Amino acid sequence: MTGERIVPVDENRTIPESLIAHLGKKYRISLADNVEEASEMMHSNDVDFVLLCRRSPGITGRHMVGLLELRTEEYSENVVQRVPSVQLRIQRVEDFIRASCEKRAILQEAAKVAFLCPVHLSRVFKRETGRTIAQYKSEARIRKAQQLLAKSDWSVEEIAGVVGYMNTRHFREMFKRIVECTPSEYRKKQKNRENNGHSTR
């Protein structure tokens, strides 16, 4: 049954995405770039059908829709869950990025969380959040750094490494761009607030 739920489609992204829009409200459908990725998605049991993107000479978009509709009709009586909404998939990705922001490469793992191929996830994430995955990861790193600057006595260099920056100068530049002050200035402000809070009690 697993093989019948992997549908080969043309590598032109327009057609697979139109198929997801056509049947995605009823079934959990994801895109895969290769057979290994498609097989892994199927064995996870969190997706009903996988569209395997590859060249399909002589197969039109209409043929693809017909093939997928035929397979979904055969499968529909066994479907017990509806497809997770786009918003839910993006929320899962955001949660994953916040928890793993220190990692250097994150797109492939995030795509698995959303059950989408990396290219499609990048496009959907930008559309839904207005930010790229790289931008969101940078913001998550800086937010984590803010917490560490306020709650720990670690040096700026140590914090930079903990949140994923091997280059402290790059960390300082990114921090200032997002928070609009340097890490040291931010820590000083937080200490002053804390001291003022204690003095008023």
Q: Which residue has the tokens 């960390």?
A: 171
Q: What is the pLDDT of residue 126?
A: 94
**Cα 171 to Cα 161: distance, rounded to the nearest angstrom:** 9
Q: What is the pLDDT of residue 177?
A: 96
Give the burial class of 73: count Cβ atoms within 10 A of its Cβ; 0-12 exposed, 13-18 middle, 19 or more buried: exposed
Q: What is the mean pLDDT of the chain?
A: 76
Q: What is the pLDDT of residue 1?
A: 40
User: Which residue did the predictor score with more confidence, 93 or 74?
Assistant: 93
- Is the CB of residue 27 less than 8 Å from the CB of residue 70? no
Question: What mean pLDDT is predicted for residues 65-85?
Answer: 48
Q: What angle do CA 44, 36, 3 make, to 5 degrees?
A: 70
- Classified as helix, coil or strand, 176 is helix
- Residue burial 32-51, b: 16+ Cβ < 10 Å; e: rest: bbeeebbbebbeeeebbbbb
Identify which of 29, 114, 31 has the alpha carbon closest to the alpha carbon of residue 79: 29
pLDDT in tens, 5-60: 444 554 455 555 555 565 555 666 666 666 666 666 656 656 666 666 654 444 44
Q: What is the pLDDT of residue 87?
A: 86
- Whole-model pTM: value is 0.61
Binned at pLDDT 50, 70 and 90, residue 120 comes out as confident
Q: For residue 63, is pLDDT > 70? A: no
- Is the CB of residue 38 less than 8 Å from the CB of residue 107? no
**Cα 22 to Cα 119: distance, rounded to the nearest angstrom:** 20
pLDDT in tens, 124-177: 999 999 999 999 999 999 999 999 999 999 999 999 999 999 999 999 999 999
Q: For residue 2, is pLDDT > 60? A: no
Q: What is the pLDDT of residue 86?
A: 83
Q: What is the pLDDT of residue 67?
A: 46
Structural domains in the chain?
Answer: 3-78 (no CATH), 86-132 (no CATH), 135-199 (1.10.10.60)
Instruction: Starting at the earlier edge strand, list the strands of the sheet with 49-53.
Output: 6-9, 49-53, 29-32
